[in-house]
Amino acid sequence: MKTALDVRPSPIAGQWYPADATLLASQVDGFIQAAHLPKIHGRVIAAMAPHAGHRYSGPVAGYTFAALHDLKPDLVTVVSPMHYPYQAPLLTTAHNAYATPLGEIPVDGVALQALDALLEENLGFGLIRVAKDPEHSLEIELPFLQRTFSHPFKLLPIMVRDQSETIARTLGHCLAQMLKGMNAFILASTDLSHFYPQPMANRLDSEILRRVEAFDPHAVLQAEEEGKGFACGKGALAAVIWAAKELGANQAQVLYHATSGDVTGDYTQVVGYGAAVFIHHEEE
């Protein structure tokens, strides 16, 4: 007899994306189908997607998820920032599954324990489990994953509060160690510049995306310190790039960039969004 999973309820359905399953599925499918993907020159190992409300960042996220249509991972790791003031560097859910209007996604408890042990060994601390967290940046990706992958998969959710280089690099290394040999995919959740006029946002976002495409996680982290580019999930993004490198990725490809102004028509204070993939490119 099956026991019911302890499920994290969605705190953002009906606000950040539609609460109606039919409308949500149709909207997400529309974003993915509207993406005019460039040719991707390799096997996708990891990716980057934005995490604002679907109305604003959905057209950009569509590019990320359109690039994943050939993948059938058993495990999807989503690494996002934690925007709320929890007193822990790295967090995960205390629940056994996440709920969206499209259904439940089970959390891989075995993978979570393995990663936790590696982090303890390498950092001296592991993942703090939190119940009923309000964080949107991880959950916002889940309906896209549910519509992209029609097969069953498990989730490894990680939320990064301390975005220092030591934490990001070690998290990336531990993720790669744990995922090596598995049929897995990693997603970094991050938005770009926040609340600048469109011309300035485009300059800042171009620089951070140049560093992403250079496949340089250290440079991504340094961009904000230098005042040259911003990503609210810089630690999550850098960790995923370091993990992707260890898992065989040797190239990054930016797929698309836009801002909230491109949706609303208000260019006075915009938020930037980028889509990218990290790939293994076979040299010819």
3 state SS for 69-120: CCCCCCEEEEEEECCCCCCCCEEEECCCEEEECCEEEEECHHHHHHHHHHHH
CA-atom Rg of the chain in angstroms: 17
- What percent of the chain is modeled with pLDDT above 90? 96
Q: From 248, 133, 238, select the one nearest 190 (Cα to Cα).
A: 238
CA-CA-CA-CA dihedral for 267, 217, 277, 116, to nearest 10: -110
Q: Average pLDDT over the chain, rounded to whole?
A: 96
pLDDT at residue 2, rounded to an integer: 46
> Which position has the token pair 């160690």?
177
Q: Is 60 exceeded by the pLDDT of residue 8?
A: yes
Asked if 204 contacts 229 with a C-beta cutoff of 8 angstroms, the reply is yes
pTM for the model stands at: 0.96
Q: What is the mean pLDDT of residues 44-67?
A: 98
Q: Residue 18: which pLDDT band, with cuts at 50, 70 and 90?
A: very high
> Which position has the token pair 């996680």?
217
The answer for residues whose C-beta is within 8 angstroms of residue 277's C-beta and 6 or more apart is 40, 44, 46, 47, 48, 64, 67, 252, 253, 255
Tell me the C-alpha distance between 271 and 218, whole Å: 23
Q: Residue 284: which pLDDT band, with cuts at 50, 70 and 90?
A: low
Which residues face 159 on adjacent strands? 80, 91
Domain positions in the chain: 7-280
Q: What is the mean pLDDT of residues 38-57?
A: 96
Q: Is 60 exceeded by the pLDDT of residue 167?
A: yes
Tell me the C-alpha distance between 111 and 75, whole Å: 9
Q: What is the mean pLDDT of residues 204-223?
A: 98
Q: Is 80 exceeded by the pLDDT of residue 5?
A: no
pLDDT at residue 124, rounded to an integer: 97
Phi, psi of 201 (to 5 degrees): -60, -45
Q: Is 90 exceeded by the pLDDT of residue 1?
A: no
pLDDT in tens, 23-32: 999 999 999 9
Q: Residue 4: which pLDDT band, with cuts at 50, 70 and 90?
A: low
Q: Is 90 exceeded by the pLDDT of residue 91?
A: yes
Q: Residue 283: which pLDDT band, with cuts at 50, 70 and 90?
A: low
Q: Is 60 exceeded by the pLDDT of residue 3?
A: no
pLDDT at residue 106, rounded to an integer: 98
pLDDT at residue 281, rounded to an integer: 86
Q: Is 80 exceeded by the pLDDT of residue 143?
A: yes
Higher-confidence residue: 4 or 278? 278
- The CATH architecture that domain 7-280 belongs to is 3-Layer(aba) Sandwich (3.40)
Range 220-229, long-range pairs (CB < 8 A, 24+ positions)? 221/163, 221/165, 221/168, 228/204, 229/192, 229/193, 229/204, 229/205
